[in-house]
Amino acid sequence: MADNLSRTSTPVFALPDHALVTLEGPDATAFAQAQFANDVAVLPPGQWQWNAWLTPKGRVIAVLALAKLAEDRVWLVLPDHPAGAFAEALRRFVFRRKLKIDVPVDTAVSGGFTAPAVAHGAVLAMDAGTLELDMGGDGGPRTLRLGPAAADDAVQQAAWRAADLRHGLPRLPETQREQWTPQQLALDRLAAYSVKKGCYPGQEIVARTHFLGKAKRALQGFLVDGALDPGAAVRDSERDVGAVVSTAPEGPQTLLLAVLPLDHAGEGLSVEARPLSRAPLLDGLRR
């Protein structure tokens, strides 16, 4: 699907549901290390990783792509989270650190269903003044770009969102923030959190769940006929067994990610009285 779209639609298109927040200053890496769930300190400059910001109770506020341009320059790409509100929430924890948190107005987020010109895997690259991140996976090549604004293309934007969900990247609307642990969102598939690094908000709960093996639910992919909003209950016969976290339109159907018990086979499920069919998650987006 993505290959056909890339030949018939806008090669590079705006991603208006993504935002950029920058951390710049001598304490940029140390601040990110203290606030976010993944190990920023060991990430080499010039690479990026999936990461998450959690509440003290270990619930995911946001899943993000963290690009470490240098020890004193860390950029955060946020799907579905307003940059201004995110930056303001982060500023409450700066205290005396030498750090500036900003929302650049001259750098836009865009995407394309083509391979990066230079970037590959976790390695960042600058091409013609645009920072590239390789977002490709088993579903095909994709490039996320930070630079000049691109044109809107609703068809491509919907396909990008669907590709995220196909690869198990949860897209969290406001109603789904602070609801789920990293394990429940299967963020281990993206290597988006660490259980070995030092303290960060929610670290104790994340580590305890990991080492005691108490994660009982995780993300699974499905398709359902018609439109659907996140938050709907997933039912097995007459009882609720899970909840829809993320949705994306795919033709006459909706692609969805739902948190379900690990021991559930995923058969005979429905949402809003409509049967669900499995959509196995694709690999290759881990960084």
Residue 162 lies in domain: 2-166
Cα separation of 265 and 17, whole Å? 33
Assess if residue 203 is contained within a domain.
Answer: no
Q: 35 and 155: one domain?
A: yes
Q: 58 and 152: one domain?
A: yes
| CATH code where residue 51 lies | 3.30.1360.120
Domain count, the chain: 2
Assess if residue 30 is contained within a domain.
Answer: yes
For residue range 191-241, list pLDDT tens digits in order: 999 998 989 998 988 988 877 776 688 899 999 999 999 999 999 988 999
Residue 123 clears pLDDT 70, i.e. is over it: yes
For residue range 212-224, list pLDDT tens digits in order: 776 688 899 999 9
Cα separation of 73 and 276, whole Å? 44
Q: 232 and 96: one domain?
A: no
| CATH code where residue 272 lies | 2.40.30.110
Q: 233 and 135: one domain?
A: no
Cα separation of 158 and 152, whole Å? 11
For the chain, the straight-line distance linking the first and the last C-alpha, in angstroms and rounded, comes to 23
Mean pLDDT of the chain, nearest integer = 93
Assess if residue 130 is contained within a domain.
Answer: yes
- Reported as a pLDDT band with limits 50, 70 and 90, residue 267 is confident
Task: Please give the structure tokens belonging to residue 248.
Answer: 């994306």
For residue range 81-112, list pLDDT tens digits in order: 999 999 999 999 999 999 999 999 999 999 99
Q: 53 and 146: one domain?
A: yes
Residue type, 159: A
Q: Is the pTM here over 0.85, yes or no?
A: yes
Cα separation of 24 and 76, whole Å? 11
Q: Which of 44, 96, 38, 94 is nearest to 62 (CA)?
A: 38
